[in-house]
Structure 1
């Protein structure tokens, strides 16, 4: 009876031209759905939040280069994930884009394919064994699911692409070469109707991106964080904002440190040619060409694993040299205890971008490699620059730093980084070897010279804890009675002599006593570190053998840091030679003699000398 009565009611109201409740419900459901914003952030929209109603597709975008020598422009494999409303309702949305050489997998992690670090310095190393060619793992049409759950429900389209010579993308990997900048540029051009996309890697059936506004934000971590910066250096129209997380901004700074051959933390023996092998997963028919031209000719002919000198090969893989066209808003993220991609990578770029005047924020935390900014920061960034919502993010604090005991999602805002209140405080070493010497604010003359003997068998942490050893020099401040906040780059000026033509030089700034709690990290006591090649005391591009007994003076920076050293600790300057976790391993026995009267240390202390003086009273 109820159904019959409802039918009669429907007929009666229809005759009068009055819409029924059911019709009203239908009219609501047919209203167009769009992004929703609150407090300056894109909100999750229920209609966008059902993966079953997302459209997923893949295609190939044609680039402007031919890096694999087949006479045809390379095409990049691209995937797209977008709300169905971009198809059914003509909704146009901005894009969050990540590109990577890793989406199709990587090569063997067997350590036998890394360079053998047991060699004498400035000598020709034996060639390493190449990583075997591996088959790309591709799950079409989804290259990656990264960022999809975060951004599609908030009204963004998510796009991924594989880098040249990886996965189903054509071309050759170059590890920082121009094609790695131009490949994502082509994808952004396609999103804006300026480049062609195709349904297959070799076919002619085109596909267009008529579902986007053309505004693009790039994001990624490590290598994937490098590529947003690489794309931005092309000045491509449509790339409005980038969020590089732990980006490698210079392959020279990744594999060398003040010219010294230095390996990224956890990858002892890695160099740029190994990384090439590790990511190269492209078409096997083209691999021989890429290996011959890119790795065997360009890399081996120029990367100089003997002297480590800076040259045009490395300059071409340093994005600091390519910043002029960049106009995208940059939210940079890094960790102060990242010893893989060390924090200078973000610091040097952000410093240059400040001078350039583009919108910029920096997020630092106290952990290791990786670690995105909190979602609220990223959301505000992309909402402002991709949707154009005036949320005032450009007026927010310029620096956000996670303090030592805080969660990574709870950073403290600062006016800038380094802290504007930080001033350089100069310290001078006092003799004390083979035990510990002093590190004082006043220079005391006639400290003389002290000698250490290289022995890579001992780790840096072991040397820092040793009460008495000939394998390092250690100088300590008085015990702190108040907390000290360090912010910025520490630098050392050192005068030293060697009994051999070449030597490693490693410098650590440590906090003692050492924390040996079971759950403590090794970085708990390491404030910052630095490495240098004494053969390059006056030039990054030209090395010269050290003359036995001759003193050479050089000045270089340690890695940037922002850390509060608690009361009860002592700050220590440790000078040693080979760092077994980062440098080559020459035979023990090299002697380095340091002239203490010509050596000094500069630490950026918030409050300057006056504050530090009060903290040791």
Structure 2
């Protein structure tokens, strides 16, 4: 369950007496109700636009002076004149000059005095008139900031944290990059919310994991929670190149000239062996979830194959264990911002979230369902908690044989083996397209057609015992919904959306910064199967994430693959399938050899988060199972609605 925010007003005895007298003599007709929504009462055209350079306390570029990070600010002028302080919405990004933000790749632009004219995205246009300041931070080594890009490490996180410290009076800032006049943030109350997609949202995660005071909420969109898991999956390489190349892609010309040592450190600390190093420990925010003070509104596409859903799954679970107040949106898209697939609802929800978390308005958003899930294109459902109550990790076991030689998937342990040969030219979609036939490059296992809907919600894992014929081997495990459906076309280059020519406006515009953005619609595809979740691993890392070892051909190894988090309903009439195979083309790199692997089915199983647990699976497949409580069948739970039951349900984390 989410941790509720309680607003407490501390009073001295004198102010308490005044409050009591006021309550006694104030007639009900004149009492004013507490505000529930911030309104656009301030001028965006006349907003104050300024830039400061905040001292990070680091000297990553080795020039003998502390690096300073640039923060461009747009804030309403009226509150300062009225002696009132405002909260801050902040997006710290490496992309403000190299690559752009949003669906239209907007960059920061400046006037001849160096003041920001265009701030990408709608945040400033919409929220500044409503009494917020917006701060766009250039990460160190990018755009107008000093220092070096270190891809999620100390410098990245410190550059954004330093700005929050400055907003709360704990750090120094200056009016120019070279020095200039010291500047204080006397206009803000220090209450800050961070937001951003991809790398930007990753920085929000990392800063929250420092426990910095003043950061009240974060809204990470398609964000990384551990940088190792961006480049590797349990030892299996996911991308060509490494963080050194990514740093070179975004860094400024000045950083290019002075940051060779940092580039070497990034390269040396991220070997393509997939071994865990100190560099990855520094960039793992999940381990520091206990330090998080901020609430978290997490957003992710369930078919994001750039920042895969393992990132949100492990972060969400870690935050849940710490009782962090949290909310989640899960779409059918790939790596797409919710502004571009559910615009009106997104702006309204984000507005209410910031009003609640930064202004303290009791607008009820903390009492609404925790999760919004896109079940079909543009069709959303909610869950009171996520994963829903009644979700249980259910062990499903593969068995050999079955129709046309294809294996089966059920609750009972089975003996036997299945053999496949790694084919790096084939992918999960090739395997799924041939699930009903036995093919040499995969081992596939299917349930019977379901008699009722079956919902998966959360993170799964698959334990595989396999004997390789060579000294190296990679594994893939994939869960598939086998049956026809219309889905967002996440495999398209736009990852589930089509950009239109018409524009809608969200906030106020100026001549240099329009609040109007191109509309989008869902791009759909008719499919015969849907990949629900996937995971990969290097079998040589079976014993340790720290260091892989050569395999002994002919020896059996057991390894558990951690699959990406999801929320998916396999409808009645469809089948749930498990695929075990080798290289997943275009998603992991192949091993040095091309092994044949023999899978011991008696020591292989999938642990799947099913709403209703084993009993729900048994009911959907006409099998026999109980939930372990004196033989009481577990109820089926779909989209947060639980069937009546006398049983007690334990909330899932």
Question: For this structure pair, what is the TM-score category when the shorter chain's length is used for normalisation?
Answer: 0.7 to 0.9
> Is the deviation greater in 576-585 or in 436-445?
436-445
Is 2:142 aligned against 1:173? no
Contact persistence 2:464–2:603 (CA under 8 A): yes
Is 2:331 aligned against 1:349? no
Distance 2:486 2:361 in 1: 49
Contact persistence 1:187–1:195 (CA under 8 A): yes
Distance 1:458 1:502 in 2: 18
Match of 1:41 in 2: 37
Matches within 5 A, 1:503-582: 503-513=473-483, 519-520=524-525, 525-582=530-587
Contact persistence 2:243–2:267 (CA under 8 A): no
Contact persistence 2:44–2:128 (CA under 8 A): no
Shift of residue 339, structure 1, vs aligned partner:
1.6
Q: 1:185 aligned to 161, 185, 205, which one?
A: 161
Distance 1:429 1:544 in 2: 28
Normalized against structure 1, the TM-score is what? 0.81
Contact persistence 1:500–1:590 (CA under 8 A): yes
Number of equivalent positions? 536
Shift of residue 392, structure 1, vs aligned partner:
4.6
Distance 2:58 2:564 in 1: 37
Q: 2:350 aligned to 378, 385, 390, which one?
A: 378
| Change beyond 3 A, Cα 1:590–1:334 | same
Q: 2:62 aligned to 69, 73, 78, which one?
A: 69
| Change beyond 3 A, Cα 1:150–1:411 | farther
Is 2:109 aligned against 1:141? no
Shift of residue 63, structure 1, vs aligned partner:
1.7
Match of 1:272 in 2: 243
Contact persistence 2:474–2:539 (CA under 8 A): yes
Distance 2:120 2:381 in 1: 27
Distance 2:283 2:544 in 1: 19
Q: What's the secondary structure of 2:597's corresponding residue?
A: strand
| Change beyond 3 A, Cα 1:420–1:39 | farther
Match of 2:378 in 1: 407
Distance 1:377 1:85 in 2: 26
Shift of residue 370, structure 1, vs aligned partner:
3.6
Matches within 5 A, 1:11-410: 40-45=36-41, 48=42, 50-106=43-99, 139=110, 140-142=114-116, 144-146=119-121, 147-263=123-239, 269-283=240-254, 286-291=255-260, 293-296=261-264, 298-305=265-272, 307-372=273-338, 374-397=346-369, 399-405=370-376, 407=378, 410=380
| Change beyond 3 A, Cα 1:499–1:39 | farther
- Residues 22-80 of structure 1, C-alpha deviation per residue, up to 9 Å, x if partnerless? xxxxxxxxxxxxxx9987332332xx2x4322222222222211111111111111111
Contact persistence 2:295–2:324 (CA under 8 A): yes
- Residues 256-291 of structure 1, C-alpha deviation per residue, up to 9 Å, x if partnerless? 11221123xxxxx242222111111251xx424312
> Is the deviation greater in 502-511 or in 588-597?
588-597
Distance 2:235 2:528 in 1: 24
Distance 2:108 2:192 in 1: 27
Contact persistence 2:484–2:526 (CA under 8 A): no
Q: What's the secondary structure of 1:573's corresponding residue?
A: strand
Q: What's the secondary structure of 2:598's corresponding residue?
A: strand
Is 2:613 aligned against 1:608? yes
- Residues 135-167 of structure 1, C-alpha deviation per residue, up to 9 Å, x if partnerless? x98534226233112211221111111000000
Q: 1:460 aligned to 422, 428, 431, which one?
A: 428
| Change beyond 3 A, Cα 1:522–1:187 | farther
Structure 1: stretches of 5+ with no match in the other structure: 1-35, 108-135, 264-268
Is 2:482 aligned against 1:477? no
Match of 1:12 in 2: none
Distance 1:530 1:88 in 2: 55
Match of 2:590 in 1: 585
Contact persistence 2:432–2:529 (CA under 8 A): no
Q: What's the secondary structure of 1:348's corresponding residue?
A: helix
Contact persistence 1:510–1:526 (CA under 8 A): yes
Shift of residue 484, structure 1, vs aligned partner:
0.8
Distance 1:401 1:421 in 2: 18
Match of 1:115 in 2: none
Q: What's the secondary structure of 2:617's corresponding residue?
A: helix
| Change beyond 3 A, Cα 1:582–1:270 | farther
Shift of residue 422, structure 1, vs aligned partner:
1.4
| Change beyond 3 A, Cα 1:520–1:207 | same
- Residues 282-301 of structure 1, C-alpha deviation per residue, up to 9 Å, x if partnerless? 51xx424312x1111x1222
Q: What CA RMSD, in Å, does the superposition of the two structures yield over aligned residues?
A: 2.6
Shift of residue 197, structure 1, vs aligned partner:
2.2
Contact persistence 1:81–1:159 (CA under 8 A): yes
Q: What's the secondary structure of 2:207's corresponding residue?
A: helix
Distance 2:207 2:414 in 1: 52
| Change beyond 3 A, Cα 1:411–1:535 | same
- Residues 199-249 of structure 1, C-alpha deviation per residue, up to 9 Å, x if partnerless? 211032233322222211111111110111222223222212111112111
> Is the deviation greater in 524-533 or in 372-381?
372-381
Q: What's the secondary structure of 2:88's corresponding residue?
A: strand
Is 2:394 aligned against 1:425? yes
